[in-house]
Chains A and B, each alone.
Chain A
Amino acid sequence: DQQVKQNSPSLSVQEGRISILNCDYTNSMFDYFLWYKKYPAEGPTFLISISSIKDKNEDGRFTVFLNKSAKHLSLHIVPSQPGDSAVYFCAVCTDKLIFGTGTRLQVFP
């Protein structure tokens, strides 16, 4: 039973525009929500997180939004850059880290 879902397997965005990656979860008791970025042949790297007591967290070009009533998480990247092209995983953390299926983002010039 998938507890974390990323319904868009891929996304293509022009450089300079906004990228919006979405994630849905099932359990309202989750404490922390995270986004990871993964390049080919590398391990995932931590990007940004948000606690369940907040609804927004910003770090440079990256902003994560949390809508607890909808059990929905989103990552906004503004402006998008070609170097942002990677697979993005959302994850939830309780006593362990549970990942979504990932969204492949491609940023083209």
Chain B
Amino acid sequence: NAGVTQTPKFQVLKTGQSMTLQCAQDMNHEYMSWYRQDPGMGLRLIHYSVGAGITDQGEVPNGYNVSRSTTEDFPLRLLSAAPSQTSVYFCASSYFGRGGYGYTFGSGTRLTVV
């Protein structure tokens, strides 16, 4: 099925561990982004990419790295997990510039850091 696929759906990490959240889309969208959702904070942009090889920081980039080697994939890396990174993470994609048509989101990854 066409769309945005995120893996894993759930993850528990110990403080200091590293991991990569995977995101893949098969719609040939140029634009991809990562958000985190926290209670009372809405969805906050972590990093985004307007095409392969191009990434930029969003509102809350600290503690996260990204890369975009292909159009389809946009992984999010936590190098040293902290309890403050406990959240639900969403990946989204869109044709760049189609601001009025909205973005397609994945179903999320629920991450707990203990």
Contacts and interface: CB of A to CB of B under 8 A. Distances in A.
- Same complex: yes
A77 B104 CA distance: 22
A96 B33 contact: yes
B87 interface: no
Interface in B4-63: 4, 33, 35, 40-45, 48, 50, 58-59
A96 B42 CA distance: 15
Contacts of A89: 42-43
Interface string A55-70: 0000000000000000
Contact of B40 (A9, A34, A41, A93): A9
B40 A45 contact: no
Nearest to B43: A99
Interface residues of B, number: 25
B43 to A, nearest CB: 4
B75 to A, nearest CB: 17
A97 B90 contact: no
Contacts of B58: 96
B40 to A, nearest CB: 6
Interface string A32-46: 101010000111111
Contacts of A46: 101-104
B42 A101 contact: yes
A42 B103 contact: no
B65 interface: no
Given A42-B108, A96-B33, A101 B99 contact: no
Contacts of B40: 9, 101
B45 A98 contact: yes
Interface of B: 4, 33, 35, 40-45, 48, 50, 58-59, 90, 92, 99-108
6 closest Cβ contacts across the A-B interface?
Answer: A46-B102, A43-B105, A93-B99, A101-B42, A32-B99, A99-B43
